[in-house]
Amino acid sequence: MENFTMLQFFEWYYPGDGSLYEHLKNDAERLKNIGIDAVWLPPAYKGEAGGYSVGYDVYDIYDLGEFDQKGTVRTKYGTKQQLVDAVQTAKSKGLAVYMDVVLNHMGGADEKETVTVRKVNPDNRNEFTSEPYEIEAFTKFTFPGRHGEYSQFVWDWQCFSGVDYDAASNESAIYSIQNQYGEAWEDVVGDENGNFDYLMLDDIDTRNPAVRDELKRWGKWFHDTVQFDGMRLDAIKHISYEFYNDWLDTMRGQTGQELFTVGEYWSYEVSLLQEYITATEGRMSLFDAPLHENLHNASTYGRDYDLTRIFENTLVAANPSRAVTLVENHDTQPLQSLALPVEQWFKPLAYALILLREYGYPCVFYSDLYGSKYTDKGDDGNDHEVELPALGEMESLLYARKHIAYGAQRDYFDNPNCIGWTREGDGEHENSGCAVLLTNGDESSKSMEIGRAHAGKVFVDYLNKHDAEITINEDGWGEFFVCAGSVSVWAVKK
């Protein structure tokens, strides 16, 4: 088996010039050559913010950059044809393509409706703070720019379980829509805020059978149109798990494909992630948010962080076959909603931890491969300039994952400031096998066993951080080195 690696092929501040799909098309071959196997693309449909929409403020799931709606034909990332061409090119170069699917909410409705609601306590959504009364809500979606092409379904208040704005009184609050499918929220995993079904905008009510049927029809149309290989599901902690069980089974049945799926259940409690995996009976993998938090903490605390505990309370430790590991994403990058950035000095160490070990499906972040520069307002109301440099070690780490990080793993997590592991290699990958050593403190060394098959071989640091040459002894052991606050990947000298 080959080691596979996914790339999140966008970041929050990617330029809004319609160039992303062309960028993928032009770079697909290089990505495959450096060790990327799958790309995760952003939400492809028209958002409330039109050409500026990152894609999570969904307006029309059938408009992939084809219709003049919300002030633009193309999306932030390009046109429908550019998307289809880019996916086709990426697949022809050997890349799998995962599409971002956002089925929790919609925004930018075309008409207002009079809707009966009850206000809820935002800190305990199960607690009503008013009797039923009427508000004016933007809940009717007719998509006049699309003229019924692909689907004539009209979304109205019966399709939603909650809204956050009353146009009549110009008041913002969380309103539970009292419709025929229930006056309370849908069942979700976890009890955050009492019930965290409601997140933002118009909350889709999947208890409505017409809504379910429409989302299944759309799923088939979306796959037939784009021909993607898998999905990243947004905001699943706010959506009925029972809906996704039904929807994923239908999608896989309709397409006859496995459709690898990773869900975003953003919680730092591994028990909740496990509960979700149980509720969905293993139908999808999840992002390892607890590991991301550990990596952030390790980068912030420096030598005061105990590296032997880096995998404690993580999904990759508890349920390795369902863990998608990551160092950063569009929500955690500086100035974003879940900002918990991993500091630059620690990123090579963090990527070694997700790329070169036996378990987990690693996801590389766009900015760490390409670099990013942007300005946005911080919590203090001031503009901040952010520069995220491309990681110089990234291609060497990807090479090591694709070609040498194979075979039995031995861990040496025996020092709070310096940890390491070895991979023994296998018969399928020439010169495979490596020793990885990282430290958040001073220059260090560690004696580690890599296996008798390597006796007499000379190992060098593939990251070029250390210039030693290490000869493996007859028992298969070597003394490996690492520079202060750094990582080295030792493998057969070529």
Candidates 337, 402, 335, 338; CA nearest to 364 is: 402
Residue pair 232/285 in contact by the 8 Å Cβ criterion = no
Q: Is 264 a residue of the active site? A: yes
In the block, tokens 């999840």 appear at: 286
Of 197, 205, 229, 234, which residue is the catalytic one?
234
Of 57, 197, 264, 288, which residue is the catalytic one?
264
**Cα gap 56→105, rounded to integer Å:** 9
In terms of residues, how long is the chain?
A: 494
The beta-strand segments (E) located in 29-79 are 38-41, 46-47, 58-60
Residue pair 137/127 in contact by the 8 Å Cβ criterion = no
CA angle centred on 382, ends 58 and 345, rounded to 5°? 85
Q: Is 234 a residue of the active site? A: yes
Q: Give me the phi and psi of 262, to 5 degrees please.
A: -120, 130
Q: Which residues are marked as active site?
A: 234, 264
